[in-house]
């Protein structure tokens, strides 16, 4: 508990989902991009954007259309403060800033943006039930990664941990590996217990 209390606060995410005309996508656009606008600024709060772009024929958009999904880490607290009007204004500010920055690379105009949705920490809290809408678990830093991270095994018998707060961290691959590790450890415990039981019965 003391260690958990000393952890830095986990992050949330602001995500913008765009359905666009194919003309909004530059030629030879890679499927994933990472933008950092101010090298002295935070890794988040729309100063950095991780972007995924559909490719023609991949099934994510009709012919002649494309999808752009851009996400940025964000402090969850600011999204829960104030009134509904404060929240709506903040969401609008983040949306406009994200589109303006994406427009440096993509061609995003009213005539090329067909559909638009955004998600904030409050969105993730509503649909996933995660406290304050955090994403990515505790965040993988040197003090919380690898041998210093949170293990799947706990001091409490029959209690195991899986998910993005355990090693190796967030993402589908990370969470799946965490679950696989827990299953293997449980199977090993069961094997040892069965072996001891066989020895006792033999004796």
Q: Is 25 helix (H, G, I), strand (E, B) or coil?
A: coil
Averaged pLDDT, 127-141: 86
* Element spanning 118, H or E: strand 113-119
Q: Would you say residue 198 has pLDDT above 70?
A: no
* Element spanning 100, H or E: helix 84-102
DSSP state letter for 146: G
Radius of gyration, alpha carbons of the chain: 22
Name the pTM for this structure: 0.83
Tokens 């678990």 belong to residue: 137
Name the burial class of residue 157, with classes exposed (0-12), middle (13-18) and buried (19+) by CB atoms within 10 angstroms of its CB. exposed
User: How many angstroms separate the CA atoms of 125 and 13, rounded?
Assistant: 11
User: How many angstroms separate the CA atoms of 187 and 108, rounded?
Assistant: 52
Q: What is the pLDDT of residues 136-190, one digit of tens each?
A: 888 767 787 777 778 898 889 889 999 988 888 888 898 999 999 999 999 998 8
User: Residue 203: which pLDDT band, with cuts at 50, 70 and 90?
Assistant: low
User: How many angstroms separate the CA atoms of 49 and 47, rounded?
Assistant: 7
Percent over 90 (pLDDT), the chain: 69
Averaged pLDDT, 20-29: 97
User: How many angstroms separate the CA atoms of 77 and 79, rounded?
Assistant: 5
Q: What is the pLDDT of residues 64-92, one digit of tens each?
A: 999 999 999 999 999 999 999 999 999 99
User: Residue 5: which pLDDT band, with cuts at 50, 70 and 90?
Assistant: confident
């Amino acid at each position: 508990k003391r260690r958990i209390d000393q952890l830095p606060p986990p992050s949330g995410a602001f995500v913008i989902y765009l359905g666009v005309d194919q003309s909004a996508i530059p030629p030879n656009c890679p499927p994933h991009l990472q933008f950092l606008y101010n090298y002295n600024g935070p890794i988040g709060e729309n100063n950095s954007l991780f972007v995924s772009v559909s490719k023609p024929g991949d099934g994510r958009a009709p012919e002649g259309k494309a999808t752009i999904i851009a996400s940025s880490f964000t402090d969850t607290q600011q999204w829960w403060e104030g009134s509904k009007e404060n929240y709506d204004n903040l969401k609008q500010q983040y949306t406009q800033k994200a589109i303006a920055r994406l427009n440096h690379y993509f061609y995003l105009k009213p005539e090329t943006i067909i559909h638009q949705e955004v998600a904030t920490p409050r969105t993730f809290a509503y649909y996933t039930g995660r406290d304050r809408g955090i994403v990515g678990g505790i965040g993988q830093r040197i003090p919380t990664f690898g041998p210093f991270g949170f293990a799947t095994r706990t001091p409490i018998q029959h209690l195991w941990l899986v998910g993005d707060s355990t090693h190796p961290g967030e993402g589908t691959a990370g969470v799946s590996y965490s679950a696989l590790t827990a299953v293997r450890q449980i199977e090993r415990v069961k094997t040892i217990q069965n072996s001891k039981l066989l020895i006792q019965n033999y004796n």
